[in-house]
Amino acid sequence: MKLFDLTGRQALVIGGVGPYGRQATVGLCQAGARVTIATRNRKILDRDPKTFHPTNPPAVDLCNLTNDDDVRALADRQGAAGIVVYSAAPGSGYGWKQTPASFERAILAHGLLAWAVLHHFGDAMAAYGRGSITTLGSVQAHGGPDFTLYPSGWEPPADYTFGKAGLLNLTRHAAAVYGPRGVRCNHITLGPFQKDPASDDADRVTKRIYLDRMAGPNDLLGPIVFLASDASAFVTGADLVVDGGQTAAY
């Protein structure tokens, strides 16, 4: 269907090597977009880009986004991108008992970087009168953690919960700002990704999901292409929930 065709369009995936960022990259490549991955992970240079797509592999913009100037510079280099997926997931890695300094650093990363991406790329797209920005969030934006799911001792970082809730409404705010200028801003709420199917924690989490499984390596491809393409031309400010039904039980 031509509505989903992205052939020739320039796309940027910020944080495109994690479990979900990689799916965003693969999906956009499969739809024909010319994709660039922006990441600080130097290991990507050791990977054959054809592992993402054999005939339409992505390019790489190796960069460390730590402040507004970094994002502005990225927008200057990649400003022609009419599709941006923000998949970065900064966090402290601590649970509730983190220091004020660690929480402040993590929240600054969550808030400032997301705002800078929406701001600078939104302005660049508005100059052309069209574009799509998709932010990737988490079910943690819709409720607090259930600690009974993690008896192994791992604890979801408090700053992650805070940051993902903020990202959802920041994206909606951007949708209101840029909608009249032809730029669509949408958010995807993501459920847990299957990393180790044999772990006890994975089994407990799966029991809370209606589809009785965690997300696999292809579950984000369709939603990403949908929001990037003309198939979603009348969709902005939306939160597309891709979690197997987990939040429906909240």
Q: Which of the residues are catalytic?
A: 160
The one-character DSSP state at 193 is B
DSSP state of 104: H
3-class DSSP assignment, residue 152: coil
Q: What are phi and psi of 192, to 5 degrees?
A: -70, 145
Where helices occur in 45-94 by DSSP H, the ranges are: 68-78
Task: With H, G, I as helix, E, B as strand and everything else as coil, classify residue 215.
Answer: strand
Query: Is the CB of residue 86 less than 8 Å from the CB of residue 135?
Result: yes
3-state SS assignment for residue 111: helix
Contacts of 85 by beta carbon, 8 Å cutoff, 6+ apart:
11, 12, 13, 14, 16, 21, 24, 28, 133, 134, 135, 136, 224, 228
- The owner of tokens 């050791």 is 46
Structure tokens at 31: 């739809």
Query: Counting every residue, how long is the chain?
Result: 250
Cβ neighbours, 10 Å, residue 35 = 31
